[in-house]
Amino acid sequence: MNSRNRVVKDNLFKLFVFLLAALSILPLFLIIFQTVRNGISAINPEFFYKLPKPPGESGGGILNSLVGSFMLVILATAFSVPIGTLTGIFIAEVRNSFTELLRTLVNILQGLPSIVIGILAYLWVVKPMGGFSAISGAVALAVMMLPVIIKTTEETVRLVPFTLREASFSLGATYTKTIIKIILPASARGILSGIIVGTSRIIGETAPLLFTAFGNPFVNLNPMKPTDALPLLIFNYAMSPYEEWHKIAWGASLVLIIVVLGLNLLLKMVGKRWETKF
Amino acid sequence: MGDKILKIENFYAGYGHTWVLRNINLEIPEKKLTAIMGPSGCGKSTLIRCINRIHELNPEAIYRGHIYLNGKDIYKMHPTIVRRKIGMVFQKPNPFPTMSVYENVIAGYILNGIKLKKEEKDKIVEDALKKAFLWNEVKDVLHRKGTFLSGGQQQRLCIARALAMKPEILLLDEPTSALDPKATSRIEELIVELKKTITIVMVTHNIAQAVRVSDYTAFIYLGELVEFGPTEKVFAAPERKETEEYLVGKFG
Ligand SMILES: Nc1ncnc2c1ncn2[C@@H]1O[C@H](COP(=O)(O)OP(=O)(O)OP(=O)(O)O)[C@@H](O)[C@H]1O
Ligand SMILES: [Mg+2]
């Protein structure tokens, strides 16, 4: 009787834990469900290669924001990867009070609200340059990506076993060569994951772009000019009073969600395919 | 005893504030295999890591005294030069995981920024792999990753990597302790062949192995060199009771 009681209790507890777990991922499914339901009808080939139509006309696409988001991600990656990997290596290799401070600052940077980073980019890039631009948006996004790149680089560089450095030094290699030829390649997977995680972090960011990249109804390829981005388009169109534009916003949201999910899949693949065995 | 390629004089080494090795005086004969033996923790690894100056990579490392390679003080030479002349193979095979078999062998040249023609590289790789008794096993998989090889093959790859730099001395720190008996005997055969052309200093815990492959044996006890001489002599009639006790297995 007693032991039966325990089994029942045990099963009840398991059920309870399962329900809580299900509850915590419920919002994700609701979001995906809602976005697919509202967005799927907006999506057709035209959606990807046409510009938005004026209010009242149906159809049109989001080419301007696709191109813009792509350009912003590339620029932000180009800014943050060199600085981030070097800082990550530095923090991992050198242990003193300065790198300790640096590590703390990186954590603070990671916690900074994105809108604050946007304001700083406005003050330090938009103002001196005299106008909104893709560059300024990319700077804001790069600052958001930076801590992610630094941390993943640091972690993977730490994982490279000391025996590999010894092997390299024993062949007469200098410290710099050891870093470039041995440590960096062995950390490539980690750095790549950092770029992917960083990209999925910034691809949906709206706040830092509001007063930097600003938005643009046309396709823009000039980094010095204002540029649209998926989240900017969603923000602007969802706030508009027009039914057609709401539909476009849902379609763009669906695209954004698919991109983020795709990046997560890519991350899993990179983890498996590129694994370095030590 | 033949020519002495390496002379260690009044050498001290340690970590932080403690000396691990004290007043080591040792002359290593050329083109012979010298085994370094002694109980665990007595400082064998520390000693051979001083010979190619990788001991000093440890920020805690301290050292004092002289080591002469062909009469020149290695602590007055540039460490990268010393390390190219004195190769080292470690206890656990450590091929570079991102490099192919071929690149691993030529790694010393890549890492030193030495540019070579394709044919020169091919030749160095083939020669080194042949010397390491590995050529036949890997000649068809030269462009696969070195980490796909078995443990014993990886260790021979590491030996080939060291040999490719054409060092004057090869340091081996318990090169077979992570390998099975079959892989071990392959390495032993290889070492016996190698010592005809190169000076080898090998740390080993395996008494039978020392007897099989070495010409000279140095015995270190608690950081001091207590015995050095031809292997047969050291093993048959040790002068010091520490050596004798070690040989009969009183301490590991
Ligand atoms: N990185 C280090 N920092 C501080 N002390 C160390 C370090 N490495 C070794 N030691 C100490 O130095 C002494 C000698 O170590 P060493 O590795 O040279 O011994 P060993 O004879 O090679 O031993 P084993 O046979 O176990 O490999 C040991 O007492 C060890 O605790
Ligand atoms: Mg040792």
- Residue-wise pLDDT tens digits, A111-130: 999 999 999 999 999 999 99
The per-residue pLDDT for A3 is: 77
Task: Give the ranges where chain B is alpha helix by DSSP (H).
Answer: 44-51, 79-85, 101-111, 118-131, 135-138, 151-163, 181-194, 207-213, 231-236, 241-247
Taking CA–CA distances from B95, the nearest residue in chain A reads: A164
Q: Which of B84, B91, B96 to mutate to test the interface with A (most CBs of A within 10 A)?
A: B96
Which residues of chain B approach chain A closer than 8 Å at the C-beta?
Answer: 52, 54, 57, 80-81, 83-84, 87-88, 90, 92, 94, 96-98, 107-108, 110-113, 147, 158, 161-162, 165
Is residue B4 within a helix (H) or strand (E), and if so which, with residue range? strand B4-15
Q: Please tell me the predicted confidence (pLDDT) of residue A2.
A: 72
Strand order of the β-sheet with B216-221 is B86-89, B169-173, B199-203, B33-37, B216-221, B224-230
- pLDDT recorded at residue A1: 56
Instruction: Read off the pLDDT of each residue in A256-270 and give the average, rounded to a whole number.
Output: 93
Nearest CA in chain A to B165: A171
User: Which of A261-265, A273-277, B50-54, B189-193 comes out lowest in average pLDDT?
Assistant: A273-277
**Minimum distance, in Å, between the CA of residue A94 and any CA atom of chain B:** 11
Residues of chain B with pLDDT below 70 are 1-2, 250-252
Burial A184-221 (b: 16+ CB within 10 A, else e): bbbbebbbbbbbbbbbbbbbbbbbbbbbbbbbbeeebe
* Cα A170 to averaged position of ligand 2 atoms, centre (Å): 16
DSSP string, B98-135: TSBHHHHHHHHHHHTT----HHHHHHHHHHHHHHTT-H
Residue B23: CA atoms inside 13 Å, Cβ hemisphere, count?
1
- Chain B residue closest to A181 (CA)? B111
Please give the C-alpha separations between residue A133 and each of A36, A84, A231, A267, B153, in angstroms, as whole numbers.
32, 23, 16, 30, 57
pLDDT tier at A140, thresholds 50, 70, 90: very high
- The average pLDDT across A207-213 equals 95
Give the strand order in the sheet containing B18-29.
B18-29, B4-15, B61-69, B72-73
- Select from A163, A165, A170 the Cβ nearest to the Cβ of B83: A170
State mean pLDDT over A3-26: 91
Residue B243 burial (CB < 10 Å; 0-12/13-18/19+)? buried
> Which DSSP symbol is given to B222?
T
- Here the tokens at position A249 are 């916003």
pLDDT at B2: 65
Asked if A172 and B162 come within 8 Å (Cβ–Cβ), the reply is no
Taking CA–CA distances from A178, the nearest residue in chain B reads: B111
Cβ distance of A167 and B158 shorter than 8 Å = yes
CA distance B233 to B35: 13
Cα of B85 to nearest chain A Cα, Å: 9
Q: CB B207: neighbour CB atoms within 10 A? A: 16
Helix axes A134-159, A114-121, angle to 10 degrees: 130
A277 near B CB under 8 A:
yes
pLDDT value at residue A53 = 87
How far is it between the farthest Cα atoms of chain B? 56
Angstrom distance (rounded) from CA B91 to CA B151: 11
Instruction: Please say whether the beta carbons of A214 and A61 come within 8 A.
Output: no
Could you give the CA distance from residue B86 to residue A171 in angstroms, rounded to a whole number?
Answer: 9
How many Cα atoms sit within 13 Å of A131 on the Cβ side?
Answer: 7
Q: Which residues, 6+ apart, have CB-to-CB distance to B140 below 8 Å? A: none
Q: What is the mean pLDDT of residues A241-258?
A: 93
- A211: amino acid identity, one letter: F
Q: Residue A54: pLDDT above 90?
A: no
Q: What is the pLDDT of residue A274?
A: 65
Query: Helix, strand, coil % (nearest 5) of chain B?
Result: 40, 25, 35
CA distance A201 to chain B (A): 29
Burial B191-201 (b: 16+ CB within 10 A, else e): beebbeebbbb
Pick the atom of ligand 1 nearest to B16's CA.
Answer: 4
Q: What is the pLDDT of residues A14-23, one digit of tens each?
A: 999 999 999 9
Which residue of A157, A170, A179 is the best one to mutate when testing the B interface, meaning the one whose CB has the most B CBs within 10 A? A170
Average pLDDT over residues A32-45: 92
B90 vs A contacts (CB less than 8 Å): 163, 166-167
Whether residue A227 contacts residue A216, with contact meaning beta carbons closer than 8 Å, is answered with: yes
CB burial string B83-108: b at 16+ within 10 A, e below? bbbbbbbbbbbbbbbbbbbbbbbbbb
Per the prediction, chain A carries an average pLDDT of 93
pLDDT at residue number B124: 97
Q: Is A162 touching B (CB cutoff 8 A)?
A: no
Ligand 1 contacts CB of residue B45 (under 6 A): yes
From B24, B44, B58, B60, give the residue whose CB has the most ligand 1 atoms within 8 Å, as the site to mutate. B44
The reply to whether ligand 1 has any atom less than 6 angstroms from the CB of B162 is no
